[in-house]
Copies of this chain bind each other. A is one copy, B any other.
């Protein structure tokens, strides 16, 4: 958007969101809901009709608590803070963004107060994005993750030489990368009759309905991972949206169950499938025929190891599977502390850098690679970051169950067959849209609420093998 469009865009968004809010929260909608609740009292919990009313009631009750002025102010604040964040980032100067973040923290606090909460203000915000989840539960999950990850990161650091990823930097023709990525996501099941792929600075997926779900990707000649794994990631989001039924199109049930559940679909395809050995058993021969020069002398196992190299780094979106959740933990803690007033916004960079050193052992060189790296805080949204970790956990938890129901999944992937996997996801996750909360969905799909155990077991096993940690432990005195 040209700079001159900023103010108008802020006003337009603010007007639209205010109007939508005012109409949705009218007494008339409340009366309609009451009538429907009476009429549909005997419908099964998971029927379209009962779910439509239940989910709309949840949205309605929450929206009724937010004054229209606050909704409009949040929309406006988010739009004007964004270019300030961009400039602060460009200039590596947190102080330029500080007043906007102060405002946004205050707005988040006002949202939390308006919605109300029993224990922690963050509960109110978290419930908006991950309905049914409590801050305390999340803290327990992160504590469990920290106990598992911190020693694993240290173990890997001691065996860093075990994995060599230099092949990824040998130079890959960008056009060929983009077409290879598109062919790959088609094979996984992304339907191009109802989608398309374009190039953008930051990859994303967007949906206008089940018949039009698009992805973007980016490509770097000098680093292989961006294009292929970015495309698989976005196609995971897109297949989720393509799998939502026509029966819920244009209803409040359409859309992802939560950012966390959405992320589970992208991360499952990107990591649990795309970074698995069976996947590369299948795809590596065709990859090598397309990129003969850079892949010279590298076999499928070497390539599989390269794309899985784990090492502490500064940027969340480039982090490997093991360290990724520590980036999220950091943000979750800092958001909470700012919201509760325990951390002043002006002290954020210092707190960020100290925490980063403690969790990942690195010294943050500047605010651009530190507290200014993510766009999220510029558009007011607190309570979104945990979804990235929740997505990783849900992905592993689903996959544990899938492997029970599709015992030959590895063999299918080796043959390049993804239909059974996609069908399972469609049946157990995609088609439901927003019908169930994340925990309801997990209970139905796996028999358990959200848990970190499958993900911890997965990374310990996978990276233990990649870095020879188990052998090392065995060999240790």
Instruction: Say yes or no: A2 contacts B194, CB within 8 Å.
Output: yes
Instruction: Say yes or no: A193 contacts B2, CB within 8 Å.
Output: yes
Minimum CB–CB distance from A459 to chain B (whole Å) comes to 36
Instruction: Say yes or no: B2 contacts A209, CB within 8 Å.
Output: no
Instruction: Determine the chain B residues whose CB is within 8 A of the CB of A7 once the complex forms.
Output: 211
- Give the contact stretch, choosing among A8-16, A26-34, A302-310, A330-338: A8-16
A196 touches which of B2, B12, B191, B210 (Cβ 8 Å): B2
Closest to A195 in B: B2
Minimum CB–CB distance from A103 to chain B (whole Å) comes to 22
A5 touches which of B5, B8, B12, B209 (Cβ 8 Å): B209
Asked whether any CB of chain B lies closer than 8 Å to the CB of A212, the reply is: yes
A409 to B214: give the CA distance in the assembly, Å: 49
A193 to B249: give the CA distance in the assembly, Å: 39
Asked whether any CB of chain B lies closer than 8 Å to the CB of A202, the reply is: no
Instruction: Say yes or no: A5 contacts B212, CB within 8 Å.
Output: yes
Instruction: Determine the chain B residues whose CB is within 8 A of the CB of A249 once the complex forms.
Output: 8
Query: How many copies of the shown chain assemble into the complex?
Result: 2
Instruction: Say yes or no: B9 contacts A208, CB within 8 Å.
Output: yes
Minimum CB–CB distance from A359 to chain B (whole Å) comes to 41
A194 to B3: give the CA distance in the assembly, Å: 6
A5 to B213: give the CA distance in the assembly, Å: 8
Instruction: Determine the chain B residues whose CB is within 8 A of the CB of A209 once the complex forms.
Output: 5, 8-9, 12
Minimum CB–CB distance from A14 to chain B (whole Å) comes to 11
A228 to B344: give the CA distance in the assembly, Å: 54
A404 to B214: give the CA distance in the assembly, Å: 54
Instruction: Say yes or no: B212 contacts A9, CB within 8 Å.
Output: yes
Instruction: Say yes or no: A212 contacts B1, CB within 8 Å.
Output: yes
Minimum CB–CB distance from A391 to chain B (whole Å) comes to 26
Minimum CB–CB distance from A80 to chain B (whole Å) comes to 13
Asked whether any CB of chain B lies closer than 8 Å to the CB of A444, the reply is: no
Closest to A242 in B: B4
A212 to B12: give the CA distance in the assembly, Å: 12
Instruction: Say yes or no: B250 contacts A211, CB within 8 Å.
Output: no
Asked whether any CB of chain B lies closer than 8 Å to the CB of A192, the reply is: yes
A212 to B2: give the CA distance in the assembly, Å: 6
Instruction: Say yes or no: A211 contacts B11, CB within 8 Å.
Output: no
A4 touches which of B2, B8, B211 (Cβ 8 Å): B211
Asked whether any CB of chain B lies closer than 8 Å to the CB of A6, the reply is: yes
Instruction: Say yes or no: B11 contacts A193, CB within 8 Å.
Output: no
Instruction: Say yes or no: B194 contacts A5, CB within 8 Å.
Output: yes
Instruction: Determine the chain B residues whose CB is within 8 A of the CB of A194 once the complex forms.
Output: 2-5
A208 to B194: give the CA distance in the assembly, Å: 28
Closest to A6 in B: B211
A2 to B193: give the CA distance in the assembly, Å: 6
A6 to B45: give the CA distance in the assembly, Å: 33
A385-399 with Cβ < 8 A to chain B = none
Minimum CB–CB distance from A9 to chain B (whole Å) comes to 7
Instruction: Determine the chain B residues whose CB is within 8 A of the CB of A196 once the complex forms.
Output: 2
In addition to A2-B211, A8-B210, 15 A-B residue pairs with Cβ atoms within 8 Å of each other are A1-B212, A2-B193, A2-B194, A2-B212, A3-B194, A4-B191, A4-B194, A4-B210, A5-B211, A5-B212, A8-B250, A9-B208, A11-B250, A12-B209, A12-B250
